[in-house]
Amino acid sequence: MVRISKTYIPKESEKYMCEKHKVFFKNKLLDWKKDLVRSNNEALYNSSMDDNSTSADIVDQASSYTDKNVEMRAINRQIKLISKIDSALGKIKDGTYGFCEETGEPIGIKRLIARPVATLSIAAQEKHEKEEKVYADDI
């Protein structure tokens, strides 16, 4: 098991997805997941504590419902993100992390630092988005 310092940042000059890189991204993903789980738990706890839905004022009820709806959408987005993090952690384990799902090419250190759950290289992502836009324009 390779150990890295808390200040270590992967370098382009190192072998791509060497053990140091894998440990760095695994730690980054685990920390991110821990933060998301904590904030989801806090949001769920706080939302259960302040319940205006029993208020007599219809405006308060509507406002409370809207706030809860926004909170739940945010929590759902975070749950999807946690799933992507888990998938990325699985890829680190099986040795496929950091490589584009479409082309098999390296995604790149800078892109992974910015978006650790990225599964496509920038070129593949742009192609994917272009195809989505064309499809959306056809509808």
d(CA 33, CA 19): 21
Query: For residue range 9-19, what is the model confidence (pLDDT) as tens digits?
Result: 999 999 999 99
Residue 108: per-residue pLDDT: 95
**Average per-residue pLDDT for the chain:** 88
Residue 41: per-residue pLDDT: 84
CA distances from residue 68 to 35, 38, 43, 88 in whole angstroms, order as listed? 21, 18, 10, 30
3 within domain boundaries: no
Based on the fold, state whether residues 84 and 114 are members of the same structural domain.
Answer: no
| Residue span of the structural domain in which 29 resides | 16-97
Based on the fold, state whether residues 88 and 109 are members of the same structural domain.
Answer: no
How many domains does one find in the chain? 2
d(CA 118, CA 66): 32
10 within domain boundaries: no
Based on the fold, state whether residues 81 and 47 are members of the same structural domain.
Answer: yes
What is the reported pTM? Answer: 0.78
d(CA 86, CA 20): 19
Expressed in percent and rounded to 5, the helix, strand and coil fractions of the chain are 65, 0, 35
Q: What six digits make up the tokens of 52?
A: 């205006």
Cα-based angle 121, 125, 127 (whole degrees, multiple of 5): 120
